[in-house]
Amino acid sequence: AQSVTQLGSHVSVSEGALVLLRCNYSSSVPPYLFWYVQYPNQGLQLLLKYTSAATLVKGINGFEAEFKKSETSFHLTKPSAHMSDAAEYFCAVSGTGNQFYFGTGTSLTVIP
Amino acid sequence: ETGVTQSPTHLIKTRGQQVTLRCSSQSGHNTVSWYQQALGQGPQFIFQYYREEENGRGNFPPRFSGLQFPNYSSELNVNALELDDSALYLCASSLVPGGRSTGELFFGEGSRLTVL
């Protein structure tokens, strides 16, 4: 079975500060992992994905994530937060049957 | 390139009624998935359609049903609506190469259903 756990439903950072959003996964098969972002009243947009190539994955808008098998983690980071980064972020794992399992989300607030 | 479009964007129904939600997939994508996102939660997989057949289903009762058409567009039907069915329903299209999906999902903006 596959699942993801996002630690921290709300994260606040100052503009220009490091963003760290945490995701741990559980998977009975080698996982394919994703981070999606959702802006208010919009659908989800892919930030980045890990599909067993390089463990450090770079995505859009300056985000990146590192796959750590020993820690079963796939945390999302960005060196310097921007006001436009305020949104809901979802970690997801692709499971058998082609379905994605999403975490409960982390709401990011950026303080000016 | 046309993205995923969903209709209607908002609708209100009463308990016991039926609803149909529609989705047009992104150009070139042959797979459509439906997800339910309750308030404050992550999306939950309802089912997926590939080549007009159901290709995987989540833990949802049979009153949730769907269709995929030859042009790859899709419908989600929900019968006997319950209050807990109030949610944002997201459609996502993808090009599945077969087997476990490594590809991304392209989401529409969703249909927000309120059941009174």
Give A104's contacts in chain B (Cβ within 8 Å): 40-42
Residue A15 Cα distances to A38, A99, A112, angstroms:
19, 35, 5
Percent of chain A with pLDDT over 90: 77
Which pLDDT band, with edges at 50, 70 and 90, does B99 fall under?
very low
Average pLDDT taken over every residue of chain B = 91
* Residues in CB range of B51: below 8 A, 6 or more apart: B30, B68
For the stretch A24-49, pLDDT in tens is 999 877 788 999 999 988 889 999 99
At B2, list the tokens. Answer: 């046309």
Which of A43, A97, A102 shows the shortest C-beta gap to B42? A102
Instruction: List per-residue pLDDT tens for chain A, 112 residues long.
Output: 789 999 999 999 999 999 999 999 998 777 889 999 999 888 899 999 998 778 899 999 999 999 999 999 999 999 999 999 999 999 999 876 678 899 999 999 999 9
Which of B42, B55, B104 shows the shortest C-beta gap to A90? B42
Question: Is residue A61 classed as helix, strand or coil in its secondary structure?
Answer: helix
Does the structure show a pLDDT above 70 at B97? no
Q: Do B42 and A105 touch (CB under 8 A)?
A: yes
Instruction: Please name the residue of chain A whose CA is at the shortest distance from the CA of residue B104.
Output: A46
CA–CA separation, A39 vs A47, rounded Å? Answer: 12
Instruction: Please name the residue of chain B whose CA is at the shortest distance from the CA of residue A103.
Output: B42
Residue A96 Cα distances to A24, A27, A88, B43, B102, angstroms:
18, 10, 26, 17, 11
Nearest Cα residue to B90 out of A22, A41, A109, A58: A41
Residue with tokens 């994905």: A49
CA–CA separation, B108 vs B5, rounded Å? Answer: 5
CA–CA separation, A2 vs A27, rounded Å? Answer: 4
Max CA-CA distance within chain A?
Answer: 43
Choose, out of B26, B48, B105, the residue to mutate when testing the contact with A (most A CBs < 10 Å). B105
Which of B33, B41, B92 shows the shortest C-beta gap to A104? B41
Q: Do A104 and B43 touch (CB under 8 A)?
A: no
Which pLDDT band, with edges at 50, 70 and 90, does B2 fall under?
low
Residue with tokens 């009174």: B116
Q: How many CA atoms lie within 13 A of B25 on its CB side?
A: 28
Residue B88 Cα distances to A77, B42, B64, B112, angstroms:
28, 10, 14, 4
Average pLDDT taken over every residue of chain A = 92
